[in-house]
A and B are shown apart, each in its own frame.
Chain A
Amino acid sequence: MKTAKPLTDALLYLNGVTVSFDGFKALNELSLIVEEGELRTIIGPNGAGKTTLMDVITGKTRPDAGEVFFRGVADLTRLDEAEIANLGIGRKFQRPTVFENLTVFQNLELALADSRGTWRTLFAHLTRDRCDRIAATLARIGLAEHSGRAASALSHGQKQWLEIGMLLIHDRALLLLDEPVAGMTDRETEETAELILDLSKDRTIVVVEHDMAFVRSLGARVTVLHEGAVLAEGSVDHVQNHARVIEVYLGR
């Protein structure tokens, strides 16, 4: 590492990131800056590189070139998934991935912001304080009565909420939400938009989404990806009137 001084003030800083799979460039010299406290939505057609972008930030995929920094100091291209998660970056997947063989309560217990060390997990106790935090989160995501049920017994929407709850309870600095309203009813979508707006008051959130109505309801700055690079960036109105965006994405 070169210097301990932050390279940038931005919370998340990507510069010239390239990822190729067998010659296909999933990300092509992509550069993106997300400021602290920002709510950002990322849209783009299928294959534009949205999920690959998430994979690079969370350490699942190593970029072939480019730099990725968190808070200007942590080089995310050198860390593994667990280390990145412990820096305070949380991710919600496209498909709801809760632990189906555990109860709702246990799912949240695993997500609690505790030490992740293997020894610690051997001796951790479920203190009153931890139980209270789990109970508070259960109430917030509306699953209080389902605490003891196996997560596999939840409806699709409830699983999405549980997953959001698992991100909430850890109190992360940066949340990456991959299609948080996929498969949700209109009402659930509305509630999720409210929840995200509420959450964005005290943390940075990046939302990847297809649903333009949902993106509009968030009213945040929008980045449009196309063929692995940023095509346009700006307010919802700006990108919706952008000629190239209409041509490659919205127009279709």
Chain B
Amino acid sequence: MSTPDIGRHRGTWSPGFWATFILCGGVLAFGVPLLNSGVSPGSPIAVPDYVVPLLGKYLCFALLALSLDLIWGYAGILSLGQGAFFALGGYCMGMYLMRQIGTRGVYGNPLLPDFMVFLNWKELPWFWWGFDHFAYAAGMVVLVPSLLALVFGWLAFRSRVTGVYLSIITQAMTYALMLAFFRNDMGFGGNNGMTDYKDLLGWDIHQSSTRRGLYIASVLALGLGFLLCRCITSAKLGRVLLALREAESRVRFLGYSITNAKLLVFTVSAVLAGLAGALYVPQVGIINPSEFSPGNSIEIAIWVAVGGRGTLVGAIVGAVLVNSAKTWLTGAAPETWLFVLGAMFILTTLVFPNGIVGLLHRLGRMPTRAAATMPAEEQA
């Protein structure tokens, strides 16, 4: 790297950064809805209705990737259970949306969602209480993933579980949750999950205006999440994280508490993932236990690796590009998708370990803010 030290602290929040940030955010937040509703549907620049929630979904994935980059790219914590926080946030939102259906369900029960009526349940389980209020559900979207992250992280980091061992137990965590949510008597709809939503805060969820609203909310969440991650990584804490990725015990001997630093970013990351899940569910219209599947969580790591880890921007770019490719390819040649995904990951690891952003940086000396100098080898 050239001369990143003192100048870098100023560059983090330079006018140039804000200009780029506001421009990108503005184009995303206003451009797409305008092209969707403001131009006639026949026009070649019109964004069709089905594309809006699709883009919204990509943005949710981008936020999810961002949450992983914060802990993996900076602190070296390769969580392969990030999908669990995403799914928990999604379930909290799903529970709210189920309660909004009211008597419009197939069985017309004002209190119980259809699947409970089907299972002959007589009353609403206690953990469903309050989910008819949006504020309560929104609180749970933050609280549930952060509590899980706090407890899980505290146990893991205090016992100094690192590297592949941590990755494996996070996989086990999400797998265990998947099995639990598959059970009908858990009270979350079993393998069918929850779907057939009607409205959100009084707005019909199928209306294109509601979808535009959800899309804009996703842009906002991604923008704020990005700023938060940038705050954390450009603070001294960011250097502590990079240092502990490099030599954990050395950071301890300097007097920093590794457990607390990791716990803080792990929890923040879980909240961001939960938020992404909560925005994802109304846009795709369903949540079911497959969101917990270990494969999903591994895919998130691939998005980040392809985009370039330890850069924040890379996570967003990677998530959007890989998922666009997935949408296109699973339509055009579905049987090839997994091979392409695997090839992308292998190619990234072998040929450009710093991902797309690292590659652009090397080619064009773009002023990206890579996480200082990145080691070429994989951490875990």
Instruction: Point out residues on A near B: beta carbons under 8 Å.
Output: 58, 60, 80-83, 85-86, 90-91, 93, 97, 99-106, 109-111, 116-118, 121-124, 126, 131, 147-148, 150, 152, 166, 170
Contact = CB atoms under 8 A, between A and B. Distances in A.
B252 interface: yes
B5 interface: yes
B255 A86 contact: yes
Contacts of B253: 58, 81, 85, 90-91
A35 B256 CA distance: 27
A82 B239 contact: no
A249 B335 CA distance: 69
Contacts of A101: 242-243, 245-246, 371-375
Given A99-B243, A116-B257, 11 more contacts: A82-B252, A82-B256, A85-B254, A102-B243, A116-B254, A121-B235, A124-B236, A148-B2, A148-B4, A148-B5, A150-B372
Contacts of A93: 250
Contacts of B375: 100-101
A90 B373 CA distance: 26
Interface in B246-304: 246-247, 249-258, 260-261, 264
A58 B258 CA distance: 16
Query: Interface residues of B: mostly helix, strand, loop or mixed?
Result: helix
A117 B255 CA distance: 9
B120 interface: no
Given A102-B242, A110-B240, A124-B236, A97 B250 contact: yes
B3 interface: yes
Nearest to A60: B249
A251 to B, nearest CB: 35
A122 B232 contact: yes
B206 interface: no
Given A122-B232, A124-B235, A102 B372 contact: yes
A116 B101 CA distance: 50
B45 interface: no
A121 B240 contact: yes
A118 B261 contact: yes
Contact of B6 (A81, A86, A131): A131
A150 B373 contact: yes
A99 B255 contact: no
Contacts of A118: 237, 256-257, 260-261, 264
Nearest to A105: B5
Contacts of A100: 246, 373, 375
Nearest to A172: B255
Interface residues of B, number: 37
A147 B5 CA distance: 8
B1 interface: yes
A151 to B, nearest CB: 9
A150 B236 contact: no
A152 B373 contact: yes
Contacts of A117: 257, 260
Contacts of B3: 148
Contacts of A150: 1, 372-373
A52 B4 CA distance: 38
Contacts of B235: 121-124
Nearest to B261: A118
B243 to A, nearest CB: 4
Interface string B310-344: 00000000000000000000000000000000000
A106 B232 contact: no
A166 B254 CA distance: 9
B9 interface: yes
Contacts of B231: 122
Contacts of B257: 82, 116-118
Contacts of B5: 103-106, 147-148
Nearest to A86: B255
A109 B243 CA distance: 11
Contacts of A60: 249
5 contacts: A81-B252, A110-B243, A121-B256, A124-B235, A170-B255
Contacts of A99: 242-243, 246-247, 250
Given A81-B253, A93-B250, A121 B237 contact: yes
A106 B6 CA distance: 9
Contacts of B372: 101-103, 106, 150
Contacts of B243: 99, 101-102, 110
Contacts of A122: 231-232, 235-237, 264
Nearest to B247: A97
Contacts of A147: 5
A110 B239 contact: yes
A53 to B, nearest CB: 15
A104 B192 CA distance: 55
A126 B246 contact: no
A111 B250 CA distance: 11
Nearest to B243: A99
A104 B1 CA distance: 12
A110 B254 contact: yes
A83 B257 CA distance: 8
Contacts of A116: 254-257
Given A100-B246, A110-B254, A126 B240 contact: no
A90 B253 CA distance: 7
B1 A85 contact: no
Contact of A105 (B6, B247, B250): B6
B141 to A, nearest CB: 23
A102 B245 CA distance: 11
Nearest to B251: A110
